[in-house]
Structure 1
Amino acid sequence: MDLALLRTFVTVHRAGSFTRAAALLGLSQPAVTSQIQALERQLGRPLFLRRARGVTPTSIGDELAHRAAPHLDALVGIAEAGLDDTVLPRSLHLIGTPEFTAERAVPALTELASREGPEFTLRASFGHAEEALEGLAAGRQDMAITTVRPRGALLTGTALCDEEHVLVAAPRWAARIGPGRLRRKSAATLDRLPLVEVHESLPLVTRYWGLVFDAAPAAPGAVIVPDLRAVLACAVAGAGLAVLPRYLCAGALEQGVLVALLDPVVPPLRTYFLAVRTGTLALPHIARAHDELLHAALDWY
């Protein structure tokens, strides 16, 4: 059985689409279709059911993928390990949310890059969860940090860490609310206070209000800025209340330029996932970056 045909088959099985598999393999869609048809002729059985959008593996297709994929991934790892002794450059393309990627992931991977030497290049870009997973699936990135767990066989996701969200404001707003008043009167106390957010839909505030107060925020956003670091700066400047990740505002809280308005028994959490294309952890430089982030995340909270 031709290994090239098996590689194409496994890629289609993981991608769920001839079109997406073709992009990952650097082939035309007709070439991918031709290779799958050739493999089906060799086996005498259909491997995929063609649908209006994508393909679905048959039981024979699933069995073949289960048996073949680990061995193909191992061969890729062997081939890549052989390249480690050369001077060929190795690039890691990472995508994730701007704040978390800049504040957490990039510093951790910079340490790896310094150990790997000049042959290793880290290229980071920013994007929201859907954009990150789409870019990863299309082969534009090697690794994605996202708040959405990837689905399907093409991508593999590992829980990286949980992010605690905190309701904060400058001291003058905290004094206006008064100590203990928020706990007694709940969200109604905040109805007329300005909010600082990353989007008009108030995603972090709405989620916090729902989980902690079982209510929706009544006030619209007074200041909308597209980056949580800008939200932090605006909150420190006194623009209004904000919901921020604790790691991002911990310094401001310690300095007293921000005040945590509430300490709920169960604080709202958001989980980050570390996603790669299935099989690419056989590549040593991707595997090392993956392990580096998982290890670094043990100290993140």
Structure 2
Amino acid sequence: MDLALLRTFVTVHRAGSFTRAAALLGLSQPAVTWQIRTLERQLGRPLFLRRARGVTPTTMGDELAHRAAPHLDALVDIVEAGLDDTSGARTLHLAGPPEFTALRALPALAPLVAQGLAVRSVFAPGTEEALAGLAAGHHDLAITTARPRSGLLASTTLCDEEHVLVAAPRWAGRLGPGVLRHKGPAVLEQWPVIEVHESMPLVSQYWATVFDGRPSASAAVIAPDLRAVLECATAGAGLAVLPRYLCQSALERGEVVALHDPPVPPLRTYLLVARTGTFGLPHIARAHEWLARAAVDW
């Protein structure tokens, strides 16, 4: 059996789509389709059911993926390591959200870097993007906010982050003591909102969790990096919802003010994800363990 066909099959299985697999493999979609059909003819069984959005593996497809994927990953690791490499130095490829990766994960790995580990990071704002790259072998570890659906990826909980509704003092001064608690979010309807995306994921989650509703305003400022959102809020551009770890120093300095203190604040869970079978590689196992231990204090 052609290993190239198996590699394409495993990539489609992990990506859940011929289109995404083609992009990850650097092939055209017709080429991926031809390779899968060729493998199905060789096996005499369908491996995927075609859906309106992507593909779903058949029972045969799931069984083949779970049997073949660990061995293909091991072959890739052997090639990447180099058979005559005796230095022990390896490169860790890490993907994750820009702010969390920059402010928490990468600094936590600094002691390992000092001991010889090389690190290459990719900022992947979306979980789907990070998991697709991990499944295709582009990354060794990925930090996400959703558990992978594939059984070929293993996840470990890192930490929960609390979300805080903040604004600059001049905005906060418009609210009297207890006004937001008694009158609800209607008092904020005319306030400009700063967010990372037009869908306002953080503000919408906060409103749903704390106020049991949806925000009525659209975002006034869109900045796809929470550090930029914090800077805009500090400058007085409007209200924002930010993770506490990111805005805690600004809160302590009085540059922004927490507008509300709900009894149950919204939380977002961060996960550390790896391909199953890759913990046999010391540099991946050690980085995984190091991040998990550091997360205890996060």
Please give the TM-score of this superposition, normalised by the length of structure 1.
0.78
Q: Which residue matches 1:263?
A: 261
Q: Which residue matches 2:108?
A: 108
Q: 1:257 and 1:56, CA in 2 relative to 1: closer, same or farther beyond 3 A?
A: closer
Amino acid paired to 2:101: T
Counterpart selection for 2:172 from 167, 171, 174: 174
Q: 1:34 and 1:190, CA in 2 relative to 1: closer, same or farther beyond 3 A?
A: closer
CA shift, 1:51, in A, is 3.7
Native 8 Å contact 2:10 2:65 kept in 1: no
Q: Which residue matches 2:123?
A: 126
Native 8 Å contact 2:7 2:72 kept in 1: no
Partner SS, residue 297 of structure 2: coil
CA shift, 1:200, in A, is 2.1
Q: What residue ranges of structure 2 are gaps of 5+ in the alignment?
A: 26-30
Native 8 Å contact 1:76 1:283 kept in 2: no
CA shift, 1:11, in A, is 5.4
Q: Which residue matches 2:141?
A: 143
CA shift, 1:89, in A, is 3.9
How far apart are the structure 2 equivalents of 1:89 and 1:34?
A: 39
Further displaced range: 182-191 or 130-139: 130-139
Q: Which residue matches 1:98?
A: 98
Q: Which residue matches 1:217?
A: 215
1:232-267 Cα deviation digits (max 9, x unpaired):
111111111110000000001111111111111110
Amino acid paired to 1:229: R
1:33-64 Cα deviation digits (max 9, x unpaired):
989988x7xxxxx78745446674647x8778
Counterpart selection for 2:184 from 183, 186, 206: 186
How far apart are the structure 1 equivalents of 2:198 and 2:92?
A: 34
Q: 1:282 and 1:37, CA in 2 relative to 1: closer, same or farther beyond 3 A?
A: farther
Q: Which residue matches 2:86?
A: 86
CA shift, 1:71, in A, is 9.4
Partner SS, residue 198 of structure 2: coil
Q: 1:161 and 1:10, CA in 2 relative to 1: closer, same or farther beyond 3 A?
A: farther
Native 8 Å contact 1:162 1:272 kept in 2: yes
Q: 1:68 and 1:251, CA in 2 relative to 1: closer, same or farther beyond 3 A?
A: same
Mapping of residues 62-73 of structure 1, within 5 Å: none
Amino acid paired to 2:161: E
Q: 1:72 and 1:96, CA in 2 relative to 1: closer, same or farther beyond 3 A?
A: closer
Partner SS, residue 204 of structure 2: helix
Native 8 Å contact 1:76 1:282 kept in 2: no
Q: Which residue matches 1:153?
A: 151
How far apart are the structure 2 equivalents of 1:289 and 1:106?
A: 11
How far apart are the structure 2 equivalents of 1:276 and 1:216?
A: 35
How far apart are the structure 1 equivalents of 2:204 and 2:278?
A: 37
Q: Which residue matches 1:245?
A: 243
Amino acid paired to 2:129: E
Please give the TM-score of this superposition, normalised by the length of structure 2.
0.79
Native 8 Å contact 2:40 2:47 kept in 1: no
Partner SS, residue 106 of structure 2: helix
Q: 1:73 and 1:224, CA in 2 relative to 1: closer, same or farther beyond 3 A?
A: closer
Structure number, greater radius of gyration: 1
Further displaced range: 11-20 or 138-147: 11-20
Q: Which residue matches 1:43?
A: none
Further displaced range: 211-220 or 99-108: 211-220
How far apart are the structure 2 equivalents of 1:158 and 1:10?
A: 26
Number of corresponding residues: 288
Partner SS, residue 230 of structure 2: helix
1:140-181 Cα deviation digits (max 9, x unpaired):
111111112111123222221111100011111111112211
- Runs of 4+ in structure 1 over 6 Å off: 7-10, 16-19, 28-38, 61-85
Q: Which residue matches 1:232?
A: 230
How far apart are the structure 2 equivalents of 1:149 and 1:282?
A: 22
Partner SS, residue 145 of structure 1: strand
